[in-house]
């Protein structure tokens, strides 16, 4: 066990980070072409660099970064167990929770774990249903799965097929999970440009799904520009086979074929052009949503879930390349946005990139009603440099529910899992971490924690390559969260933790 303040972990040699200067220069110059979020649609590795390999090995030998696959963590975190990948060999993706179960997305389908004993989770079911990236949520007896690769049809036996073909299919799949050991595929809804991610807005009789997708093309019959909004699906709980799109609200109105979102390069070099949203987080108790939409961050009102209304919109054309995800604090007076610089496939946690890119942006929400504004306060990035063979950037995380405090746990791919405090919006600080050393020392290889979430007393992480990790956090600052119990958690549908 290593102390949070142990120099071996907190301070990394800056020289190590210069090894891939050519790669980093390309990353910064290429702009939105590089910022295709999440690594599943691209090659898992980049070209080997002899200099990169030599400097990475030297840094490991000097104790400045962990050794290959070595597990290190702060004194307040204990690694309880790791469950390797099994029948589903694809990239592990997002997580959802219900009762004693965890639902783990994978590019090849999804896996259900029984968490009755967090030290020894048991696999209940594995469902083969390829669909990149299989973003996953649950509500009652229904499970929802995003398909974001062009398929031959909407079945789980489909094969890849070009998006240029009209018969190709992408969208939402719906399963009945009343029997956790035998999920049944019951419905599908095709959506424009597929479903990269989705977010639930539950009600008693229906579940609304906000579908985020992007990157249209005039050559794609079912994904035409401008793609400047989101698909809204209405799912009747008792008749999911009747699920259908009920609206496509335009979030970025504007003239011309590209709509009104961030134009990206050349107007804003290094920033992704907005052609839809990557992810949306809702806070139903406050009728609020925050959208991370490529080149834009937005705040909107969801009193009428079928007709969300944008309240405010912000851009950061200096330090944010790709607005990836959003998290409200419990009081709904702050939003944390993440920047997925490099699309999750690049080494951006180093001295060359610095502390303000590939980071979290913390925004206060000021004002009332429709006059509320997002006001930037600061950036947060993990304080430990990573090797240039490690993909590392801000990714998916959740609140740790402590009344009066703003605490998060967050995944950083091969940067590991970080626990941090943003109670003071202007002075965020890390208070714990867990990570592994690089998967490889001679080439960039995609891996690390995709999602790290706090649920009923434990942190659960879905590692792209290594599988399902369970962490125990013991700290006087976070211990009150152990008293908060939830029946269900979809992190992008944030619960009301306290009255």
Mean pLDDT of 236-243: 98
Provide the percentage of residues in the chain whose pLDDT is more than 70. Answer: 90
Look at residue 39 in the predicted model and tell me its pLDDT. Answer: 52
CA distance to 84, 110, 192, per residue, from 98 (Å) = 21, 15, 29
Look at residue 49 in the predicted model and tell me its pLDDT. Answer: 66
Q: Which residues contact 204 (CB under 8 A, 6 or more apart)?
A: none
Closest C-alpha to 291, from 250, 246, 326 = 326
* 23 secondary structure, DSSP code: H
Q: How do residues 336-350 score in pLDDT, each as one tens digit?
A: 999 999 999 999 999
Q: Which residues of 426-449 are buried (b: 16+ CB within 10 A; e: fewer)?
A: eebebbbbbbbbbbbbbbbbbbbb
Token pair listed for 253: 């109105």
Look at residue 25 in the predicted model and tell me its pLDDT. Answer: 33
**pLDDT surpasses 70 at 432:** yes
Strand residues in 346-428 grouped as ranges (E): 360-366, 373-380, 397-399, 407-411, 417-421
**pLDDT surpasses 60 at 297:** yes
Q: What torsion, rounded to 10 degrees, do the Cα atoms 23, 29, 33, 36 define?
A: 60
Q: How do residues 126-174 score in pLDDT, each as one tens digit?
A: 999 999 999 999 999 999 999 999 999 999 999 999 999 999 999 999 9
Q: Are 399 and 424 in contact (CB under 8 A)?
A: no
**pLDDT surpasses 80 at 182:** yes
Closest C-alpha to 258, from 203, 295, 305, 206 = 295
* 354 secondary structure, DSSP code: -
Strand order of the β-sheet with 279-283 is 279-283, 288-293, 296-301, 309-314
Lowest mean pLDDT among 57-61, 89-93, 252-256, 494-498: 57-61
CA–CA dist 276, 170 (Å, integer): 16
Q: Which residue has the tokens 């980071």?
A: 359
Stated pTM of the model: 0.92
Q: Which residue has the higher pLDDT, 63 or 390?
A: 390
Q: What torsion, rounded to 10 degrees, do the Cα atoms 291, 242, 490, 356 define?
A: -20
**pLDDT surpasses 90 at 122:** yes
Superfamily grouping for domain 7-489: YVTN repeat-like/Quinoprotein amine dehydrogenase (2.130.10.10)
Length of the chain: 499
Q: Are 212 and 308 in contact (CB under 8 A)?
A: no
Mean pLDDT of 440-464: 96
Q: Determine the 3-state secondary structure of 361 from DSSP.
A: strand
Q: Are 294 and 214 in contact (CB under 8 A)?
A: yes
Q: How do residues 52-98 score in pLDDT, each as one tens digit?
A: 788 788 888 877 889 999 999 999 999 999 999 999 999 999 999 99
Closest C-alpha to 288, from 253, 247, 324, 330 = 330
């Amino acid at each position: 066990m290593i102390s949070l303040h142990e120099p071996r972990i907190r301070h990394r040699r800056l020289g190590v980070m210069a090894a891939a200067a050519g790669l980093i220069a390309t990353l910064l110059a290429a702009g939105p072409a590089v910022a295709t979020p999440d690594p599943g649609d691209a090659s898992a590795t980049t070209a080997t660099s002899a200099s990169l390999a030599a400097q990475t090995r030297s840094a490991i030998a000097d104790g400045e970064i962990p050794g290959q696959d070595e597990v290190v963590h702060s004194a307040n975190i204990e690694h309880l167990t790791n469950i390797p990948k099994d029948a589903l060999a694809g990239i592990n993706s997002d997580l959802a929770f219900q009762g004693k179960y965890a639902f783990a997305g994978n590019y090849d389908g999804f896996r259900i774990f029984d968490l009755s004993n967090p030290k020894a989770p048991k696999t209940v079911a594995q469902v083969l249903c390829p669909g990149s990236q299989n973003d996953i949520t649950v509500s009652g007896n229904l499970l929802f799965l995003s398909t974001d690769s062009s398929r031959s049809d909407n079945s789980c036996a489909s094969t890849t097929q070009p998006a240029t073909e009209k018969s190709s299919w992408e969208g939402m799949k719906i399963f009945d999970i009343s029997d956790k050991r035998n999920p049944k595929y019951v419905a599908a809804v095709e959506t424009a440009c597929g479903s990269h991610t989705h977010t639930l807005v539950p009600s008693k009789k229906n579940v609304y799904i906000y579908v985020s997708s992007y990157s249209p093309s005039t050559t794609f019959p079912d994904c035409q520009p401008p793609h400047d909004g989101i698909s809204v699906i209405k799912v009747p709980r008792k008749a999911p086979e009747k699920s259908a799109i009920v609206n496509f609200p335009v979030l970025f109105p504007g003239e011309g074929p590209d709509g009104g979102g961030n134009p990206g390069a050349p107007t804003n070099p290094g920033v992704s052009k907005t052609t839809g949203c990557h992810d949306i987080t809702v806070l139903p108790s406050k009728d609020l949503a925050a959208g991370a939409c490529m080149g834009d961050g937005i705040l909107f009102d969801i009193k009428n879930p079928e007709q969300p209304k944008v309240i405010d919109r912000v851009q950061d054309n200096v330090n944010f390349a790709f607005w990836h995800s959003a998290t409200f604090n419990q009081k709904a007076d702050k939003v944390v946005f993440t920047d997925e610089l490099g699309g999750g496939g690049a080494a951006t946690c180093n001295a060359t990139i610095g502390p303000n890119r590939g980071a979290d942006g913390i925004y206060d929400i000021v004002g009332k009603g429709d006059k509320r504004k997002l006001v930037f306060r600061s950036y947060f990035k993990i304080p430990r440099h990573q090797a240039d063979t490690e993909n590392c950037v801000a990714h998916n995380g959740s609140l740790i529910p402590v009344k009066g405090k703003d605490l998060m746990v967050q995944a950083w791919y091969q940067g590991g899992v970080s626990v941090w405090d943003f109670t003071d919006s202007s002075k965020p600080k890390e208070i714990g971490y867990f990570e592994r050393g690089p998967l490889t020392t001679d080439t960039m290889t995609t891996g690390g924690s995709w999602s790290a979430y706090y649920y009923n007393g434990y942190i659960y992480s879905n590692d792209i390559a290594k599988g399902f990790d369970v962490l125990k956090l013991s700290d006087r600052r976070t211990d009150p969260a152990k008293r908060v119990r939830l029946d269900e958690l979809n992190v992008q549908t944030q619960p009301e933790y306290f009255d």
